[in-house]
Structure 1
Amino acid sequence: MTKRLQLIAAAVGLAALAAPAFADSYPSRPITLVVPFPAGGPVDTTSRIVADKMKDALGQTVIVENVGGAAGGLAAARVARAAPDGYTIMTGIWGTHVANSAIYKLPYDVKDDFTPIALVSVNPLLIVSSKKTPATNLKELIAWLKANPGKATQGTSGVGSVGHVGGVFFEKMTGVKYNYVPYRGLAPAMQDLAAGNIDLMFDTPATSLPHVKAGTIRAYAVTAKKRLESAPDIPTVDEAGLPGLYISTWTAFFGPKGMDKEVVAKLEAAAKKALADPDVKKRLANVGQDVYPPEEQSAAYLAKFQDEELKKWTPIIKDANIKVE
C-alpha cells in the first residue's frame, strides 16, 4: 500500500471512530432552538413549553431564540445553513415547511435541506362567522354562500396563511365563491368578525373560542376528525356535513440536513419524553395545542407526514395562484 493510500485509510478510520464518539458525548453544551416568529405567540409558547422539559432528558439547556421575518423564512434559512451537529435546530410549522415552498421563492428546499426530528403538536381550525350571517349550521352556511356568490367576505391573518389556504380548500370542496380580506394578524380580523364587518373566518380555537363562548360569533365546525376537548359541543366537519375538510396547523422540530442518526434519536427521545409529561400536555392544551400520539411523534413519521402535507397543499396553493412577492 502506498503512503498516500495509507493516509486515506487512516483518515477514513478516524472518521468512522469519531462519529460514534461524538454521538455518545452529545449534547455537551446547550442546544439552540430557533423559533421563526416573535416571542409571545403560539409557536413561541409551544416551543418554550416543550424545550424547557427536554432539558431533563438531554442534560443540557435548550435555549429558545426568536428569529422572525419573511413568514418564518429567515429562521429556516439560518437553520438550513447551520452545522448539522445537533446544536442548532428549529421549530417548523405548516407555513415554514409546507406552504412557503409554494408561495415564495426560497433559498432552500423545505424538505431536502432539513432533517426531521419530532412531530410535536397540532391545532385544527374552527369555521366561524359573524352573528349577522343567517346560517345556523355548516350546511346552511354553504347554501347561503352558494346563493350569494362573490358577495361574502372571509377575514385572514394574511395572504398565504393557513386560514386563507383553508378557505381556498373550502371553496374548492363546496364550489362556493367569496372574497378574502387580509389583516395584519388574527386579532384585528376577529375584531371585525365580531363587529359584523366580515362574514366568516377559518381561525384558531385559541382566538375564536373566547368569542364563541361570549356569544359574539358563531362556530360551525372544527376542521379535524375529532372534536376539541376545550369545546366538545362543536361538531367536526365530518359530523357537520363536509367530510374530509381537514385543515390544521402543526409544530415540529427540524435540524439541518446531514445530522447524525444517533443525535436525531436523542433529540427525538427527549421530545417524546417531554410530550408524555402530563403538565406539558396541560400547558399545551391551554394554548390550543393537542399533542400527537406517541407513535406519530417520531422523526420517521414526521418525514412521511411532511411528504403527505406537501402533496396535499402544494397543488391547492398553486392552483389558486397564491403568491407573495
Structure 2
Amino acid sequence: MNGREVVGRFAPTPSGFMHAGNILCAIVAYLSAKSKGGKFIIRIEDVDTLRCPRRAAADIIELLGAFGIHSDEPIVYQSSRAEFYRTAVSKLSRAALVYPCFCTRAELHSDGAVHLPDGGVLYSQKCKTLSHEAATELAKTQAPSLRLSVPDEVIEFDDGIFGRQAQNLARECGDFVIRRRDGVYSYQLAVVADDGDSGVTEVVRGADLLYDTPRQIYLQRLLGLPAPEYYHIPLIVYGNGKKLSKSDGDSAARLLKSMTAQQIIGALAFAAGIAQDDRPCAIDDLIPQFSADKLPRTNIVLPELLMQ
C-alpha cells in the first residue's frame, strides 16, 4: 500500500433490506481493513433519495451495529454531497469529456442494441455529434443526461480475488452516464468521488460490481485520484444457484429474530472459508485469522442454518 494508511469501507444502498450476502460483504470489508491495522468507514449510498429513504439507512446502520460493525469516522450520506459531485462533473466538462444525451430508454434499447453484462447497452453515441445549437434547442423541451466520453483503450487491474482483469472501454462499456436526466448523479461518479475524498485504499464488494471497475479506474485517472485495491467477493446463492435479493424477503434482520448475530457470523465465515468451523463467534475474533486468499473464486452457497 506504499506506506498509506489502510482505509476500507462498506457502502450499502438503502433501497431494500440487507440480506446475508450484504452482511458477508460487510464482514469481509471490515476484517480486511482491521487485519491490516487499518481504518473502516461506512458510507450510505443514498444519492437517489426517492429510492433510499433515511429510515432505511438508519435500519442498516443499526443492523450492522448488531454484528459488531461500526464506522471509525462519521458516516457519510451521499444525499448531502450533490455540490461535491457537481464540482467533479465540472472538472470533467472543462476537459471536454462530457456531453448531453437526450436518448430515451426505448431508443437506447432499440433493435440491434449491443447488450452489456451489467444489463445496460453499448451507447451508439447518437448525441455525441449534436452541435451546441441543436443540444440547446432540445434542452428547451427535455432535460438531458450527461455522458462521459471513453477512449478506445484497455483498462487493466489486478483484483485481489479474481486476478488480472481487462476491459476495452469503448467496445465493452461505451460512453456512460455520470448524471441522469432527473439530476441524480450516477453511482459510477459518486462512488469514485467519495472513495477519493475519504482516502479509501481498498474496496471490498460483490463480484456483481467487477464489471464496473474499469470505468471507475478511468474516472479516478481523470479526477486525479489514486486507485484503491479491489477485492470482489463471490456472491452468495441458494443451492439451486438463485441469487439472494433485497426484494424477495431475504432479510438479515429476519434471521436475527431466530438466531444470534454470532451464529450468523460463524455460519457465513465458515461458508466463505474464513473460519475452519461454523461455531458462533464475534466478528473481532476473526481478525487474526483473516486472509483474502482464503476466499473462494466461485459463488458461495448459503449455509443451511440461514435458509429460513
Greater Rg by CA: 1
Higher relative contact order (CA 8 A, sep 6+): 1
More helix by share: 1
TM-score (norm 1): 0.26
